[in-house]
């Protein structure tokens, strides 16, 4: 598993809008972001809760296990790149 995690909802329009940005970050930074759907998967929802610690409570939610940094909701490309890079 990658150290970069994305939690999303299948029908979430904000999550869908973030997908192209995440793909660009993966290419540019040469990283993999593991995705976990939480609206229809209780196991993934519980995993998100262990990382979220009530900071966000919704999706999209991004978590970097190395830097312990997180992003709640939509973000810019620059914000995602900095998050993936641990900055």
Burial of 55 (0-12, 13-18, 19+ CB in 10 A): exposed
pTM comes to 0.95
Instruction: List domains and CATH numbers for the chain.
Output: 4-85 (3.40.30.10)
> Widest CA span of the chain, in angstroms?
32
pLDDT in tens, the chain (87 residues): 789 999 999 999 999 999 999 999 999 999 999 999 999 999 999 999 999 998 898 999 999 999 999 999 999 999 999 999 987
In Å, how far from its chain's centre is CA 70?
8
Q: What is the pLDDT of residue 44?
A: 98
């Amino acid at each position: 598993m990658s150290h970069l995690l994305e939690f999303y909802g299948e029908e979430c329009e904000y999550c869908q809008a973030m997908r192209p940005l995440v793909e660009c970050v993966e290419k540019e930074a040469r990283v993999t972001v593991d995705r976990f759907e939480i609206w229809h998967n209780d196991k993934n929802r519980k995993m998100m809760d262990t990382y979220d610690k009530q900071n966000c409570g919704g999706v999209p939610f991004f978590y970097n296990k190395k830097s312990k940094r997180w992003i709640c909701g939509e973000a810019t490309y620059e914000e995602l790149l900095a998050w993936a890079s641990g900055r």
